[in-house]
Amino acid sequence: MILVTGGAGYIGSHANKELNLAGYETVVLDNMSYGHQDFLKWGVFEEVDLGDTEAIRDVFRKYEIEAVMHFAAFTYVGESVEDPQKYYLNNLRNTLNLFQVMNEFEVKKLVFSSTCATYGNPQKIPLTEDHPQNPINPYGQGKLMVEKILKDYSQAYDLRYVSLRYFNAAGADPEQDVGERHDPETHLIPLILDAAAGKREDIKIFGTDYPTPDGTCIRDYIHVTDLADAHIKALKYLETGGKSEVFNLGNGNGFSVREVIEEAKKVTGNQIKATEIERRPGDPPILVGSSKKAREILKWQPKYDDLTKIITTAWEWYKKDNEVGM
């Protein structure tokens, strides 16, 4: 069975669905701090906090785990600056607990959720995997630490891993079994949809004086189902003897905040009021990734690779999840 930590969360639940569709049996582990009960639609569920090493051992005793996909983590960059301890304890210490138990039970295959936040401010675009990693916040720092620890562990303990550095995960399952739901919500697309649905007055544009064509930040939005698919491909890569590797997962196209708002107006057919305010601290002007390596080695091919598809699936899910009749 495949252990999916954080499988009740946004990306973990989409990957859990794809794993089950691909014929894998899964055990979802989640402490439900940010997870959603109604996202637990596939596999068996164990409510466990990775801070509890003995409880992790119980899961490994109960099921025959062949490989682990490790999604469980806190993901609010701003919060990680205000309360780094919260992030290091969960994203680093608790991750080490999991690796310790994997080691004890000789589970040697891991797919790890890393992030483009490990790069810090880009020196060149698109970002490739060999770009220097100088994270500018504790969230990215903790993920980078895990990447480095994995390198050491893989050499010492025969562990093979794939670290996947996500760009901006967006969109929702096209069948709307699961989707994006955060509390608090800080992400651009769901907040724009709130504005489109009349649930918030406006969307705030954080900074219009960036060195980009329209002055707003550019990001690489990658559909969550494409991300999930990359995890299956990474697992198969490890199953067929692939060596430890790191891959970017982005779609290679950057969109500005204004472009995302304009596209959301088209998709929803609604007015969206945008209010320009000051920059949000810590936002690099442009983050766009090259996923050439994942395409070549994992044979990964994003399907939902344009903004229309991403926002359309996000909007379909949003309407269902918020009971918006439009």
Q: Does 200 bind ligand UDP (CB under 6 A)?
A: no
The distance of closest approach from Cβ of residue 231 to ligand UDP in the complex, given in angstroms and rounded to an integer, is 19
Interacting residues with ligand UDP between 161 and 180 (CB under 6 A): 168
Q: Under the criterion CB under 6 A, does residue 227 sit at the interface with ligand UDP? A: no
Give Cα 244 distance to the centre of its chain.
20
Contact 14, 249 (CB under 8 A): no
Least distance to ligand UDP from the beta carbon of 197, Å?
15
Interface with ligand UDP (CB under 6 A), residue from 205, 227, 246, 267: 205
Decide if residue 188 touches ligand UDP (CB under 6 A): yes
**Least CB distance to ligand UDP at residue 193 (A):** 12
- Least Å distance between CB 317 and ligand UDP? 16
Identity of the residue, 42 or 119, whose beta carbon is nearer to ligand UDP in the bound complex? 119
| Given the residues 76, 139, 153, 221, the one annotated as active site | 139
Would you count residue 186 as binding ligand UDP (CB under 6 A)? yes
Q: Is 304 tagged catalytic?
A: no
Shortest-Cβ-distance residue relative to ligand UDP: 217
The tokens for 260 are 């995302």
Q: Footprint of ligand UDP on this chain (CB under 6 A)?
A: 77, 168, 186-188, 191, 203-206, 217, 219, 257, 280, 283
